[in-house]
Amino acid sequence: MLDTMSAKNLLSLDGRVAIVTGSTRGIGLAVARKFAGYGASLIICGRAEQLPDEIMFGFRDPSRVTYVSCDLGAAGSAERIVAAANDTHGRLDILVNNAGIQPPGDLQSSNDEEWRSVLEVNVVAAAALMRCAAAAMTHGGSIINIASSRSTRPGMGMAAYSASKSALLNLTQSAAVELGPLGARVNAVSPGLVNRPGLVESWPEGVKRFSDSAPLGRIGEPEEIANACLFLAGDAASWITGTNLAVDGGITLVR
Ligand code: NAD
């Protein structure tokens, strides 16, 4: 059995450089904070022009965190984000494609423009970041794509979102095949419903429906997704690639 010390070493990200997209709040911020807590230097990104001080100073060592403001739907964003890792740290080890959008819309009411914007951020930007990151991962690396329980279990009113996350899962497998020989592992994490400020108050029926169905009887917390990402990012997952880790309280077993 692993002793505590070796288990800690397996999870350590000391000396590693990680990009986490969409890391100004929610799951992405929890992942970035988790990685920083385990020793990584970070490139964090979001759409805001400037990162609010309270977010930057929430990191134990803000000097190891660089913020890049970007719209992932715009050309050249992936190149700029990866260049920030190279320019600041001279290397890149981990990429988490977390940024995603979920506009409501069923098949019958959505239009082409809405479909394009979802696919642009959730799939095309993720592909561009993987392409740029792979070229920068000269020491090998780990790429994690945040998909969704909706990747495999679509629901009402989220056709474009579900299709985009399903594409992201398939893309994860293609990238794992292509980048494995170059030393990069590529995996997906598929969250179920995850808590955010105001969720329980604004959507009590959705939270109740999920909690009543899920085998573990509750929604998830951002830190629980971050824990799964920490495992996949580091040496504990050294022989794991192309997999989809469901972190969803068991919801995909029952619906
Ligand atoms: P969120 O909406 O709270 O945050 C999204 C982040 O992505 C923000 O930082 C935002 O700035 C960034 N972002 C969005 N569009 C962008 C763009 N065009 N350019 C740059 N940045 C952009 O998201 P969340 O709920 O924390 O979810 C994070 C990921 O997890 C998403 O991919 C989402 O689909 C997935 N997911 C979330 C849940 C959930 O219940 N929260 C469940 C399953 C999957």
CA distance 30 to 21: 12
Pocket of ligand 1 (CB under 6 A): 22, 24-28, 46-47, 70-73, 98-102, 121, 146, 148, 191, 193-194, 196
Positions of the chain with pLDDT under 70: 1-5
pLDDT value at residue 6: 80
Where do the domains of the chain lie, and which CATH numbers do they carry? 2-248 (3.40.50.720)
pLDDT value at residue 114: 95
pLDDT value at residue 4: 61
Output the pTM of the full model. Answer: 0.97
What residue's CA is closest to ligand 1, atom 31?
100
